[in-house]
Amino acid sequence: MDIQSYELHDRIERVEAAEASESDLVTVAVPPDKPLGEALERVEEDRAEAEYIDTEGEDAAYLEALERVRRVLQREAATPDKGLVVYAGVVDGEVVSYVFDDLPTPVGEFVYKRANEFDTAPLAGVEESSKTFGLLVVERGGAALGLARGDEVEPIETMDSDVMGKTKAGGQSAQRFARERERQKEEFFDTVADEAERAFLGDHHVESANTSAESASASTDVDGLILGGTSVTVDDFREGDHLDHRLDDRLVGDPVSVEYASEQGLQQLVEAASDRIEDEERRETRETLDRFFEALHASDGSAAGEDDNSSDAEEVVYGREAVEEALEYDAVETVLVSADLPVDEVQAYEGRASDEGGDCVVVPADFDRGRQFSEAFGGVAAILRFPIE
Protein backbone atom coordinates (compact mmCIF):
# COMPACT_ATOMS: atom_id res chain seq x y z
CA MET A 1 0.00 0.00 0.00
CA ASP A 2 1.38 3.42 -0.92
CA ILE A 3 1.22 6.39 1.43
CA GLN A 4 -1.61 8.09 -0.53
CA SER A 5 -3.81 4.99 -0.24
CA TYR A 6 -3.00 4.72 3.46
CA GLU A 7 -3.89 8.36 4.12
CA LEU A 8 -7.16 7.98 2.21
CA HIS A 9 -7.96 4.86 4.22
CA ASP A 10 -7.25 6.69 7.49
CA ARG A 11 -9.47 9.64 6.58
CA ILE A 12 -12.34 7.34 5.61
CA GLU A 13 -12.01 5.47 8.92
CA ARG A 14 -12.27 8.78 10.81
CA VAL A 15 -15.42 9.69 8.88
CA GLU A 16 -16.96 6.29 9.59
CA ALA A 17 -16.19 6.52 13.32
CA ALA A 18 -17.59 10.04 13.84
CA GLU A 19 -20.91 10.42 15.65
CA ALA A 20 -22.81 13.06 17.57
CA SER A 21 -25.61 12.98 20.14
CA GLU A 22 -27.78 15.23 17.96
CA SER A 23 -28.31 15.46 14.20
CA ASP A 24 -25.60 18.06 13.76
CA LEU A 25 -23.22 16.33 11.32
CA VAL A 26 -23.46 17.51 7.71
CA THR A 27 -22.64 15.52 4.59
CA VAL A 28 -22.47 17.17 1.17
CA ALA A 29 -21.53 15.22 -1.98
CA VAL A 30 -21.43 16.89 -5.40
CA PRO A 31 -21.02 14.80 -8.60
CA PRO A 32 -18.58 16.06 -11.26
CA ASP A 33 -21.41 17.18 -13.58
CA LYS A 34 -23.14 19.34 -10.95
CA PRO A 35 -22.08 22.94 -10.12
CA LEU A 36 -20.98 23.70 -6.56
CA GLY A 37 -23.22 26.76 -6.54
CA GLU A 38 -26.33 24.64 -6.02
CA ALA A 39 -24.89 23.04 -2.88
CA LEU A 40 -23.58 26.39 -1.62
CA GLU A 41 -27.01 27.96 -2.07
CA ARG A 42 -28.66 25.24 0.03
CA VAL A 43 -26.03 25.57 2.76
CA GLU A 44 -26.50 29.35 2.97
CA GLU A 45 -30.29 29.02 3.04
CA ASP A 46 -30.17 26.46 5.86
CA ARG A 47 -27.62 28.52 7.74
CA ALA A 48 -29.78 31.66 7.56
CA GLU A 49 -32.87 29.72 8.62
CA ALA A 50 -31.08 28.06 11.56
CA GLU A 51 -29.71 31.41 12.76
CA TYR A 52 -33.21 32.93 12.58
CA ILE A 53 -34.92 30.08 14.46
CA ASP A 54 -32.18 29.33 17.01
CA THR A 55 -32.78 31.98 19.67
CA GLU A 56 -31.50 29.74 22.49
CA GLY A 57 -28.20 28.72 20.86
CA GLU A 58 -29.22 25.06 20.70
CA ASP A 59 -28.13 24.76 17.07
CA ALA A 60 -24.61 26.09 17.64
CA ALA A 61 -22.98 22.79 16.59
CA TYR A 62 -25.11 22.56 13.46
CA LEU A 63 -24.25 26.16 12.53
CA GLU A 64 -20.54 25.38 13.00
CA ALA A 65 -20.91 22.44 10.60
CA LEU A 66 -22.69 24.55 7.98
CA GLU A 67 -20.07 27.28 8.26
CA ARG A 68 -17.25 24.77 7.67
CA VAL A 69 -19.01 23.38 4.61
CA ARG A 70 -19.70 26.89 3.31
CA ARG A 71 -16.02 27.81 3.54
CA VAL A 72 -14.95 24.70 1.64
CA LEU A 73 -17.46 25.29 -1.16
CA GLN A 74 -16.44 28.94 -1.45
CA ARG A 75 -12.75 28.01 -1.73
CA GLU A 76 -13.33 25.70 -4.69
CA ALA A 77 -13.31 27.49 -8.03
CA ALA A 78 -15.24 24.68 -9.73
CA THR A 79 -16.37 21.13 -9.13
CA PRO A 80 -13.30 18.84 -9.14
CA ASP A 81 -12.96 16.33 -11.99
CA LYS A 82 -14.25 13.42 -9.85
CA GLY A 83 -16.63 15.50 -7.75
CA LEU A 84 -16.42 16.69 -4.14
CA VAL A 85 -17.45 15.21 -0.78
CA VAL A 86 -17.41 17.35 2.38
CA TYR A 87 -18.09 16.24 5.96
CA ALA A 88 -18.29 18.70 8.86
CA GLY A 89 -19.55 18.78 12.43
CA VAL A 90 -18.71 18.83 16.11
CA VAL A 91 -17.33 15.48 17.31
CA ASP A 92 -16.33 15.05 20.96
CA GLY A 93 -16.47 18.80 21.46
CA GLU A 94 -14.17 19.58 18.53
CA VAL A 95 -15.16 21.02 15.14
CA VAL A 96 -13.92 18.63 12.43
CA SER A 97 -14.13 18.61 8.66
CA TYR A 98 -13.02 16.11 6.03
CA VAL A 99 -12.72 17.11 2.40
CA PHE A 100 -12.38 14.60 -0.46
CA ASP A 101 -11.58 16.49 -3.65
CA ASP A 102 -9.19 14.01 -5.26
CA LEU A 103 -11.13 10.76 -5.21
CA PRO A 104 -9.99 7.93 -7.54
CA THR A 105 -13.58 7.29 -8.70
CA PRO A 106 -16.35 9.79 -9.49
CA VAL A 107 -19.01 10.78 -6.97
CA GLY A 108 -22.19 9.06 -8.12
CA GLU A 109 -25.01 11.32 -6.92
CA PHE A 110 -25.78 14.54 -5.08
CA VAL A 111 -26.12 14.17 -1.31
CA TYR A 112 -27.08 16.85 1.22
CA LYS A 113 -27.78 15.36 4.62
CA ARG A 114 -27.96 16.27 8.30
CA ALA A 115 -27.74 13.40 10.80
CA ASN A 116 -25.95 12.21 13.95
CA GLU A 117 -23.42 10.40 11.77
CA PHE A 118 -21.88 11.06 8.40
CA ASP A 119 -23.26 9.43 5.26
CA THR A 120 -20.35 7.37 3.88
CA ALA A 121 -22.24 6.08 0.82
CA PRO A 122 -20.48 8.61 -1.49
CA LEU A 123 -17.14 7.02 -0.51
CA ALA A 124 -18.23 3.45 -1.21
CA GLY A 125 -15.66 1.61 -3.30
CA VAL A 126 -13.03 4.36 -3.46
CA GLU A 127 -10.51 2.23 -1.53
CA GLU A 128 -10.91 -0.85 -3.66
CA SER A 129 -8.21 0.08 -6.12
CA SER A 130 -5.23 2.40 -6.01
CA LYS A 131 -4.22 1.19 -9.48
CA THR A 132 -5.67 1.60 -12.93
CA PHE A 133 -5.83 -1.41 -15.23
CA GLY A 134 -6.22 -1.39 -18.99
CA LEU A 135 -8.82 -3.78 -20.38
CA LEU A 136 -8.50 -5.26 -23.86
CA VAL A 137 -10.86 -7.81 -25.41
CA VAL A 138 -9.92 -9.25 -28.81
CA GLU A 139 -12.12 -11.61 -30.79
CA ARG A 140 -12.60 -12.32 -34.48
CA GLY A 141 -15.49 -9.90 -34.89
CA GLY A 142 -13.90 -6.95 -33.14
CA ALA A 143 -12.14 -5.54 -30.08
CA ALA A 144 -13.00 -3.45 -27.03
CA LEU A 145 -10.80 -1.25 -24.85
CA GLY A 146 -11.53 0.12 -21.40
CA LEU A 147 -10.18 1.02 -17.97
CA ALA A 148 -10.83 -0.58 -14.58
CA ARG A 149 -10.49 1.15 -11.22
CA GLY A 150 -11.85 -1.08 -8.49
CA ASP A 151 -15.35 -2.13 -9.57
CA GLU A 152 -15.66 0.81 -11.96
CA VAL A 153 -15.35 -0.06 -15.65
CA GLU A 154 -14.88 2.83 -18.09
CA PRO A 155 -15.32 1.83 -21.75
CA ILE A 156 -13.00 3.65 -24.13
CA GLU A 157 -13.62 2.27 -27.59
CA THR A 158 -15.04 -0.65 -29.55
CA MET A 159 -13.72 -1.69 -32.95
CA ASP A 160 -15.25 -3.86 -35.66
CA SER A 161 -13.15 -6.35 -37.58
CA ASP A 162 -13.27 -6.78 -41.37
CA VAL A 163 -11.55 -10.15 -41.22
CA MET A 164 -13.31 -12.64 -43.50
CA GLY A 165 -14.95 -15.73 -42.07
CA LYS A 166 -13.48 -19.18 -42.46
CA THR A 167 -15.67 -20.05 -45.47
CA LYS A 168 -13.94 -18.93 -48.66
CA ALA A 169 -15.66 -17.00 -51.39
CA GLY A 170 -16.57 -18.84 -54.55
CA GLY A 171 -13.85 -19.16 -57.19
CA GLN A 172 -11.00 -18.43 -54.78
CA SER A 173 -8.36 -21.04 -54.20
CA ALA A 174 -8.09 -22.24 -50.64
CA GLN A 175 -4.50 -21.06 -50.33
CA ARG A 176 -5.18 -17.59 -51.73
CA PHE A 177 -8.20 -17.20 -49.47
CA ALA A 178 -6.18 -18.31 -46.43
CA ARG A 179 -3.41 -15.81 -47.25
CA GLU A 180 -5.87 -12.96 -47.67
CA ARG A 181 -7.66 -13.85 -44.44
CA GLU A 182 -4.32 -14.00 -42.57
CA ARG A 183 -3.33 -10.59 -43.99
CA GLN A 184 -6.61 -9.04 -42.82
CA LYS A 185 -6.23 -10.59 -39.38
CA GLU A 186 -2.68 -9.27 -38.95
CA GLU A 187 -3.74 -5.79 -40.05
CA PHE A 188 -6.61 -5.85 -37.56
CA PHE A 189 -4.28 -7.01 -34.77
CA ASP A 190 -1.85 -4.19 -35.60
CA THR A 191 -4.68 -1.65 -35.46
CA VAL A 192 -5.85 -2.98 -32.11
CA ALA A 193 -2.29 -2.86 -30.75
CA ASP A 194 -1.91 0.76 -31.93
CA GLU A 195 -5.13 1.73 -30.18
CA ALA A 196 -4.00 -0.03 -27.00
CA GLU A 197 -0.69 1.82 -27.11
CA ARG A 198 -2.53 5.12 -27.52
CA ALA A 199 -5.02 4.43 -24.74
CA PHE A 200 -2.81 2.78 -22.13
CA LEU A 201 0.60 4.46 -22.32
CA GLY A 202 0.00 7.89 -20.87
CA ASP A 203 1.03 10.76 -23.13
CA HIS A 204 2.24 8.45 -25.91
CA HIS A 205 -0.19 8.99 -28.79
CA VAL A 206 -0.59 6.84 -31.87
CA GLU A 207 -2.69 8.26 -34.68
CA SER A 208 -4.66 5.83 -36.82
CA ALA A 209 -7.50 5.98 -39.29
CA ASN A 210 -9.89 4.90 -36.53
CA THR A 211 -8.71 7.44 -33.97
CA SER A 212 -10.50 10.76 -33.62
CA ALA A 213 -8.66 13.88 -32.56
CA GLU A 214 -10.57 13.83 -29.29
CA SER A 215 -9.76 10.19 -28.43
CA ALA A 216 -6.14 10.62 -29.49
CA SER A 217 -5.59 13.07 -26.64
CA ALA A 218 -7.23 10.88 -23.99
CA SER A 219 -4.83 8.30 -22.60
CA THR A 220 -3.91 6.81 -19.24
CA ASP A 221 -0.63 5.26 -18.16
CA VAL A 222 -2.03 2.01 -16.77
CA ASP A 223 -0.47 -0.02 -13.97
CA GLY A 224 -1.37 -3.31 -15.60
CA LEU A 225 -3.13 -4.75 -18.64
CA ILE A 226 -5.77 -7.49 -18.57
CA LEU A 227 -6.24 -9.27 -21.89
CA GLY A 228 -9.27 -11.33 -22.85
CA GLY A 229 -11.20 -12.67 -25.80
CA THR A 230 -12.19 -15.84 -27.60
CA SER A 231 -9.42 -18.33 -26.89
CA VAL A 232 -7.99 -18.93 -30.38
CA THR A 233 -8.11 -15.28 -31.46
CA VAL A 234 -6.68 -13.77 -28.29
CA ASP A 235 -3.90 -16.38 -28.21
CA ASP A 236 -2.99 -15.51 -31.82
CA PHE A 237 -2.91 -11.82 -30.89
CA ARG A 238 -0.79 -12.43 -27.78
CA GLU A 239 1.68 -14.76 -29.48
CA GLY A 240 2.06 -12.55 -32.55
CA ASP A 241 4.07 -9.88 -30.68
CA HIS A 242 1.65 -7.14 -31.68
CA LEU A 243 1.56 -5.41 -28.29
CA ASP A 244 4.09 -2.73 -27.43
CA HIS A 245 6.71 -4.31 -25.18
CA ARG A 246 5.79 -1.93 -22.34
CA LEU A 247 2.22 -3.22 -22.35
CA ASP A 248 3.36 -6.81 -22.78
CA ASP A 249 5.47 -6.37 -19.63
CA ARG A 250 2.39 -5.15 -17.74
CA LEU A 251 0.15 -8.09 -18.62
CA VAL A 252 -1.57 -9.43 -15.51
CA GLY A 253 -1.62 -13.20 -15.95
CA ASP A 254 -2.74 -15.19 -18.99
CA PRO A 255 -5.57 -14.10 -21.31
CA VAL A 256 -9.10 -14.53 -19.94
CA SER A 257 -11.85 -16.25 -21.91
CA VAL A 258 -14.38 -13.55 -22.89
CA GLU A 259 -17.03 -13.88 -25.59
CA TYR A 260 -17.99 -10.30 -26.46
CA ALA A 261 -15.96 -7.32 -27.70
CA SER A 262 -18.33 -4.86 -26.05
CA GLU A 263 -18.99 -3.05 -22.77
CA GLN A 264 -20.54 -6.31 -21.57
CA GLY A 265 -17.31 -8.11 -22.47
CA LEU A 266 -15.20 -5.57 -20.55
CA GLN A 267 -17.35 -6.11 -17.46
CA GLN A 268 -17.06 -9.86 -17.92
CA LEU A 269 -13.28 -9.49 -18.19
CA VAL A 270 -13.04 -7.59 -14.88
CA GLU A 271 -15.26 -10.08 -13.07
CA ALA A 272 -13.26 -13.06 -14.36
CA ALA A 273 -9.95 -11.43 -13.41
CA SER A 274 -11.00 -9.99 -10.01
CA ASP A 275 -8.68 -12.27 -8.00
CA ARG A 276 -5.61 -11.44 -10.05
CA ILE A 277 -6.44 -7.71 -9.87
CA GLU A 278 -6.54 -7.94 -6.08
CA ASP A 279 -3.23 -9.85 -6.07
CA GLU A 280 -1.65 -7.25 -8.36
CA GLU A 281 -2.85 -4.45 -6.07
CA ARG A 282 -0.74 -5.87 -3.26
CA ARG A 283 2.06 -7.42 -5.28
CA GLU A 284 4.62 -4.67 -4.63
CA THR A 285 3.84 -4.62 -0.91
CA ARG A 286 4.12 -8.40 -0.62
CA GLU A 287 7.36 -8.47 -2.63
CA THR A 288 8.92 -5.81 -0.40
CA LEU A 289 7.80 -7.64 2.74
CA ASP A 290 9.22 -10.90 1.32
CA ARG A 291 12.56 -9.15 0.77
CA PHE A 292 12.60 -8.13 4.41
CA PHE A 293 11.81 -11.60 5.73
CA GLU A 294 14.29 -13.30 3.35
CA ALA A 295 17.08 -10.94 4.39
CA LEU A 296 16.19 -11.44 8.05
CA HIS A 297 16.28 -15.22 7.65
CA ALA A 298 19.63 -15.02 5.86
CA SER A 299 21.16 -12.91 8.62
CA ASP A 300 19.80 -15.30 11.28
CA GLY A 301 21.31 -18.22 9.37
CA SER A 302 24.65 -16.46 9.17
CA ALA A 303 24.61 -15.83 12.91
CA ALA A 304 23.95 -19.54 13.46
CA GLY A 305 26.90 -20.50 11.27
CA GLU A 306 24.83 -21.78 8.35
CA ASP A 307 26.39 -21.57 4.90
CA ASP A 308 23.59 -20.09 2.77
CA ASN A 309 25.43 -17.43 0.77
CA SER A 310 24.12 -14.87 3.26
CA SER A 311 26.94 -12.51 2.28
CA ASP A 312 24.84 -11.72 -0.82
CA ALA A 313 21.72 -11.02 1.24
CA GLU A 314 20.30 -7.54 1.73
CA GLU A 315 20.84 -5.74 5.01
CA VAL A 316 17.75 -4.99 7.10
CA VAL A 317 16.95 -3.53 10.50
CA TYR A 318 13.74 -3.39 12.51
CA GLY A 319 12.35 -1.49 15.47
CA ARG A 320 12.06 2.27 15.89
CA GLU A 321 15.55 2.88 17.31
CA ALA A 322 17.34 0.83 14.66
CA VAL A 323 15.37 2.42 11.82
CA GLU A 324 15.97 5.92 13.24
CA GLU A 325 19.70 5.23 13.34
CA ALA A 326 19.67 3.98 9.74
CA LEU A 327 17.80 7.10 8.66
CA GLU A 328 20.40 9.30 10.37
CA TYR A 329 23.13 7.56 8.32
CA ASP A 330 21.13 7.97 5.07
CA ALA A 331 21.36 4.20 4.74
CA VAL A 332 17.68 3.47 4.08
CA GLU A 333 16.47 2.28 0.70
CA THR A 334 12.92 1.39 1.80
CA VAL A 335 11.06 1.92 5.06
CA LEU A 336 8.31 -0.54 5.90
CA VAL A 337 5.63 0.62 8.34
CA SER A 338 2.51 -1.17 9.52
CA ALA A 339 -0.90 0.26 8.70
CA ASP A 340 -1.66 -0.27 12.41
CA LEU A 341 0.59 2.68 13.34
CA PRO A 342 -0.89 6.16 13.90
CA VAL A 343 -1.19 8.13 10.67
CA ASP A 344 1.12 10.94 11.86
CA GLU A 345 3.87 8.39 12.60
CA VAL A 346 3.49 6.79 9.18
CA GLN A 347 3.63 10.22 7.53
CA ALA A 348 6.78 11.07 9.50
CA TYR A 349 8.58 7.93 8.28
CA GLU A 350 7.42 8.59 4.73
CA GLY A 351 8.78 12.13 4.90
CA ARG A 352 12.15 11.02 6.27
CA ALA A 353 12.52 8.28 3.65
CA SER A 354 11.50 10.64 0.84
CA ASP A 355 14.06 13.25 1.96
CA GLU A 356 16.77 10.62 1.51
CA GLY A 357 15.51 9.52 -1.89
CA GLY A 358 14.08 6.32 -0.41
CA ASP A 359 10.66 4.71 -0.50
CA CYS A 360 8.01 4.04 2.13
CA VAL A 361 5.73 1.00 1.96
CA VAL A 362 2.69 0.75 4.23
CA VAL A 363 2.01 -2.90 5.13
CA PRO A 364 -1.67 -3.80 5.74
CA ALA A 365 -2.24 -5.97 8.81
CA ASP A 366 -5.15 -7.94 7.35
CA PHE A 367 -3.08 -10.92 6.13
CA ASP A 368 -0.77 -13.34 7.99
CA ARG A 369 2.62 -11.84 7.20
CA GLY A 370 1.27 -8.31 7.68
CA ARG A 371 0.06 -9.21 11.17
CA GLN A 372 3.37 -10.94 11.92
CA PHE A 373 5.25 -7.84 10.83
CA SER A 374 3.12 -5.61 13.04
CA GLU A 375 3.19 -7.80 16.14
CA ALA A 376 6.70 -9.30 16.10
CA PHE A 377 8.71 -6.38 14.69
CA GLY A 378 6.87 -3.38 16.08
CA GLY A 379 5.54 -2.47 12.64
CA VAL A 380 8.71 -0.59 11.65
CA ALA A 381 11.62 -1.90 9.57
CA ALA A 382 13.96 -0.85 6.79
CA ILE A 383 15.84 -2.40 3.89
CA LEU A 384 19.24 -0.73 3.74
CA ARG A 385 21.43 0.51 0.93
CA PHE A 386 24.53 -0.43 2.93
CA PRO A 387 25.18 -1.98 6.34
CA ILE A 388 25.66 0.16 9.42
CA GLU A 389 28.71 -0.87 11.45
Measuring CA to CA, how many Å separate 99 from each of 50, 111, 115? 23, 14, 18
Indicate whether 169 belongs to any domain: yes
Q: What is the pLDDT of residue 345?
A: 92
Q: For residue range 46-68, what is the model confidence (pLDDT) as tens digits?
A: 999 988 886 667 789 999 999 99
Q: How far apart are CA 348 and CA 346, in angstroms?
A: 5
pTM for the whole thing?
0.60
Residue after which a domain boundary falls, among 272, 292, 323: 272
Indicate whether 73 belongs to any domain: yes
> Going by C-beta distance under 8 Å and a sequence separation of 6 or more, which residues neighbour residue 80?
32, 101, 102
* Domain membership of residue 301 as a residue range: 277-384
Does 137 lie in the same domain as 110?
Answer: no
Q: How far apart are CA 318 and CA 309, in angstroms?
A: 22
Cβ pair 125, 238 in contact under 8 A:
no
Residue after which a domain boundary falls, among 229, 254, 272: 272
Q: What is the pLDDT of residue 68?
A: 95
User: What parts of the chain have a pLDDT lower than 70?
Assistant: 54-56, 125, 127-130, 151, 165-172, 203-218, 300-312
Residue after which a domain boundary falls, among 252, 272, 292: 272
Does 225 lie in the same domain as 197?
Answer: yes
Does 291 lie in the same domain as 242?
Answer: no
Domain count, the chain: 3
Does 144 lie in the same domain as 93?
Answer: no
Indicate whether 103 belongs to any domain: yes
Does 165 lie in the same domain as 218?
Answer: yes
Does 100 lie in the same domain as 166?
Answer: no
Cβ pair 327, 353 in contact under 8 A:
yes
Q: What is the pLDDT of residue 217?
A: 42
Q: What is the pLDDT of residue 164?
A: 72
Does 335 lie in the same domain as 267?
Answer: no
Write the CATH number for 38: 3.30.960.10
Does 293 lie in the same domain as 237?
Answer: no
The Cα diameter of the chain in Å comes to: 95
164 backbone φψ class: left, alpha, beta (φ>0; ψ -120 to 50) = beta
Does 198 lie in the same domain as 101?
Answer: no
373 backbone φψ class: left, alpha, beta (φ>0; ψ -120 to 50) = alpha
